[in-house]
């Protein structure tokens, strides 16, 4: 029971990742594939951000006024880990860039083949 309580958050992130992965493989509509890619990316980012979390009274990674004037020493366990937040801030913006390029390619394919279904596009290519 302790094991389940300690790990169930990871399992929910893995379930989210599986949903996105299944949509990328099995769905034949191109927009559905792109939605699956978005879900996959968000699950990975969620996993990274959750590694920054510290149980037991840790606050946001923002210094208060008393800390800024050096009234007492800064305890490391008092603040959340700021490093994964920074890395994932970059990853969210990059995920929007990939979403834009993928949608542009999908619009191009619709202009050429007049369908978004993968099997019909394969039939038209042959």
Within 36-75, which residues bind another protein (CB under 8 A)?
Answer: 36, 38-39, 42, 45-46, 49-56, 58-64, 67-68, 70, 74
89 binds another protein (CB under 8 A): yes
| Residue 84 near residue 48, CB atoms below 8 Å | yes
φ, ψ for residue 98, nearest 5 deg: -65, -35
Q: Which of 92, 5, 14 is nearest to 55 (CA)?
A: 5
Binding residues with another protein: total (CB under 8 A): 84
Which DSSP state fits 73?
P
121 binds another protein (CB under 8 A): no
12-31 residues in contact with another protein (CB under 8 A) are 12, 14-23, 25-29, 31
Nearest distance in Å: CB 17, another protein = 7
- Binder to another protein among 1, 66, 97, 125 (CB under 8 A)? 97
| Signed CA dihedral, 41, 46, 47, 51: sign only | positive
């Amino acid at each position: 029971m302790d094991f389940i309580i300690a790990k169930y958050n990871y399992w929910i992130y893995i379930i989210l990742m599986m949903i996105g992965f299944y949509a990328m493989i099995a769905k034949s509509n191109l927009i559905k594939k792109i939605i699956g890619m978005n879900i996959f990316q968000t699950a990975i980012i969620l996993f990274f951000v959750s590694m920054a979390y510290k149980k037991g009274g840790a606050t946001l990674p923002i210094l208060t006024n008393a800390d800024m004037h050096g009234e007492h020493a800064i305890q490391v366990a008092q603040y959340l880990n700021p490093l994964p937040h920074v890395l994932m801030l970059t990853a969210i913006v990059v995920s929007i860039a990939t979403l834009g390029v993928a949608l542009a390619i999908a619009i191009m394919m619709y202009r050429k083949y007049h369908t978004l279904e993968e099997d019909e596009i394969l039939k038209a290519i042959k």
